[in-house]
Amino acid sequence: MVQGNIAIQEKTYSTLRIEERKLYSEYLQRDVIIDVYLPNKLDLTKGVDLLLVNDGQDLRTMEFAAILDPLIFLGQIQPLLYVAIHCGPDRMNEYGTVYSADYKGRGARAGLYSKFVLDELLPFLQSEFAVSSFNNKSFAGFSLGGLSALDMVWNHYQEFTNAGVFSGSLWWRRRGYEDEGYDWDKDRIMHLQVQKGSYHPSLRFFFECGCLDETADRNNNGIIDSIEDTTDLIEDLKNIGYHDDQIRYLQLEDGKHNIETWASAFPKFLKWGWGKR
């Protein structure tokens, strides 16, 4: 159900416009705000590519339209529809992994969020914007939102193609570090899913980490946990058949766990996924 149609851009861009929508989710039992970034040359009557982004409110902070505008103007990326999904008040439970909640029970509503995206949001977008079809659908996110996006793509490979994970919360685990029997090879939930999973040739993955994302180094090997969790997952993907041309890893020496860093990395993600060749 549509509850709003608001133009939210404070600046005018020659290549795109931004519109806000609000829809009520039966699964989540709340209103969901989305910002839709519409390139002017995007022909919605034909099949289009779609990029969903978790924590969509952060795209306003990073001035995502200002990032897109020169890329579109210079013809550096193919046209696609961008949909930024604002998080709700129960973010820690709606984001996560459908496979399992973490050791504190967080992520317990991830399955409902997944159903919202597949059964409510995608049909809404197609209807609301008169999209004939989506060619390729991709999902990206930051921190816990990155884990959620990756989990969606991984478990719905028939629906999605690309995953974009910026400073992803890949530490998400079934047991605490101090719990008896903790084994980081078996208790990191996303890693476990990949280890038990299969190779799907259509999937591609973009990972970004900042060397200043955090200071934690649980095994005292001189590599911060966020980087090690990410490179371990990449190794798991390769172990089941994924190749270098399906995986991009971007490590930023001065990168931090913040919106400024993710904004600086986003053009590289867009060129990787939709750059004109």
Q: What confidence tens digit (pLDDT) does each residue in 47-85 have?
A: 899 999 999 999 999 999 999 999 999 999 999 999 999
DSSP 85: E
Q: pLDDT for 82-134, tens place per residue?
A: 999 999 999 999 999 999 999 999 999 999 999 999 999 999 999 999 998 89
Predicted model pTM: 0.94
* Residue carrying the six token digits 């005018």: 12
Residue at 114 is within a domain: yes
Domain that holds residue 182: 2-272
The domain that holds 26 is classified in CATH as: 3.40.50.1820
Residue at 68 is within a domain: yes
Q: Are 69 and 120 in contact (CB under 8 A)?
A: no
Residue at 259 is within a domain: yes
Backbone angles phi, psi at 34, to 5 degrees: -130, 145
Residue at 144 is within a domain: yes
Residue at 239 is within a domain: yes
Residue at 258 is within a domain: yes
- Sheet with 134-142, side-by-side order of all strands: 2-7, 16-25, 30-39, 80-85, 48-53, 134-142, 160-166, 204-212, 247-256
Q: Are 62 and 266 in contact (CB under 8 A)?
A: yes
Residue at 277 is within a domain: no
Give the number of domains in the chain. Answer: 1
| Token digits of residue 232 | 């371990």
User: Any bridge partners for residue 14, and if so which?
Assistant: none
Q: Are 164 and 206 in contact (CB under 8 A)?
A: yes
Residue at 178 is within a domain: yes
Q: What is the SS3 string spanning 94-162?
A: HCCCCCCCCCCCCCCCHHHHHHHHHHHHHHHHHHHCCCCCEEEEEEEEECHHHHHHHHHHHHCCCCEEE
Does the pLDDT of residue 5 top 60, yes or no? no
